[in-house]
Amino acid sequence: MGKIEIIKNFSQSNVCNVEIEYKDLPVLSFAPSPKGGPECLWFYFKVKVLNIKKIKIVLKHSYNMLGGGMPENLRPVIKFKNSEWIRLPQPEIINFDDGRKSVIWTLDIKNDLFEVALCYPYGKNELEKLLKDTNGYWKKDVIGVSQEEREIIRLSNICNDRSKRGVYLISRQHSGETPGSWVLDGFLRYLAEINYKDLVVWTVPLSNIDGVENGFYGKDNFPYDLNRAWGLPPMRHETLVIQRDIIRWSERCIQFLAIDFHAPGACEKDGAYFYISKITEDRKIHEIEKKIAKNISKKVGDYMSKDYVRSINYKSRCETPHFTDFIRKNLKIPSITLETPYSICNNILMKENDYRKIGKRIAIYLIEENEK
């Protein structure tokens, strides 16, 4: 008889409500854990098997995931031992009489260990690989600690040059939104590849490091979502740490732009898009942000949504300032948010290098703009 074992005691892991049934075709059912948030989304777990050649993986409660209303668009990733991450195919959807749904993938088992995640994981190991691959172009500094006393890392290419324009970048305020990390990864790799030194770039790539390590989705978690804590005074220690780093950056360059890298609802597939300020907030900054978003979208091309510029119009649980609000109010410069889907951009099934291409093309735009 075969055996299935779930492994979840590792960095970034998230899984709950696990059921294992040994039928003619073994069935592993699971759900993503909200881990303190009102909604769930991120999942990541490992499976060890013995004497099993085929298995059904069943995602339960997809309708409770943020943006989970069209589960046919979900394409999680899988990695067998000693292999690369690949996308799962379009799932089978089972509709129950009461309106609930189950999302099913039937897998051929290649070896005795595999991993499943909503999207390509990105954590401290991937960040260290970036640093190794870029051969010292990025300087790594610790700017503070998190609530759980983990180091908050900031990378920079230039510490201080007041004659040059500067860009401040942040990702993973919502810790499960790994597409944002892969886009940022592509941006940072390209600058290192061409050894570009005419733009002062500072970035906090794993801002919600506790959420990343603990496998949280991280949106609207009690008591404050990191991206809803940007008032003065700030409502989270991590936000305080990054605010003070932003002020240091602003004093060491010509402030130009800030970008926050995110991911949207689970099933969105119409491409990446920007959130910019509302015209009623500051017309001048709004128009600049609109122009920047338009020009970047042209450069990014087929990965972008036709509706590539948006302003937030949904009801927030916390009517408190975001990262972009803090930048606009205190530095008086444009600040935009990029949302990049978890699985599909238009008809493109996203791989790690597709996300990196988006980041690279954003970097190319900023370099061209900087050299005008």
The mean of the pLDDT values for the chain is: 95
Task: Please report the DSSP string for 123-176 in residue order.
Answer: SHHHHHHHHHHTTTSSEEEEEEE-TT-PEEEEEES-S--TTSEEEEEEE-SSTT
Helix 124-133 × helix 178-193 angle, to 10°: 10
Give the model's pLDDT for residue 317.
66
Angle at the Cα of 317 from the Cα atoms of 315 and 323, rounded to 5 degrees: 90
Give the model's pLDDT for residue 314.
66
Host H or E run for residue 46: strand 44-50
Percent of the chain past pLDDT 90, that is, above it, reads: 91
313 C-beta neighbours (distance < 10 Å), count:
7
Q: Which CATH class is domain 124-370?
A: alpha beta
Domain boundaries, the chain: 3-117, 124-370
**Is the confidence at residue 45, as pLDDT, over 90?**
yes
Burial status of residue 307 (CB atoms within 10 A of its CB: 0-12, 13-18, 19 or more): exposed
And the tokens for 162? 């007041």
Task: State the average pLDDT over residues 165-170.
Answer: 98
Task: State the average pLDDT over residues 91-106.
Answer: 96
Nearest to 323 by CA among 333, 309, 314: 333
Q: Is-contact 220 38, C-beta < 8 A?
A: yes
Task: State the average pLDDT over residues 112-137.
Answer: 98
Using alpha carbons only, how large is the chain's radius of gyration in Å?
21
Q: What is the pLDDT of residues 333-362, one digit of tens each?
A: 999 999 999 999 999 999 999 999 999 999
CATH 3.30.70.1450 holds for 3-117: no
- Predicted confidence band of residue 23 (pLDDT cuts 50, 70, 90): confident
For the full predicted model, state whether its pTM sits above 0.95: yes
CA–CA distance, 56 with 105 (Å, rounded to integer): 6
Q: Which residue has the tokens 């059904």?
A: 56
Angle at the Cα of 319 from the Cα atoms of 201 and 66, rounded to 5 degrees: 80
Give the model's pLDDT for residue 223.
78
**Is the confidence at residue 144, as pLDDT, over 80?**
yes
Phi and psi of 86, rounded to 5°?
-135, 160
Q: What is the pLDDT of residues 202-260, one digit of tens each?
A: 999 999 999 999 999 998 777 789 999 999 999 999 999 999 999 999 999 999 999 99
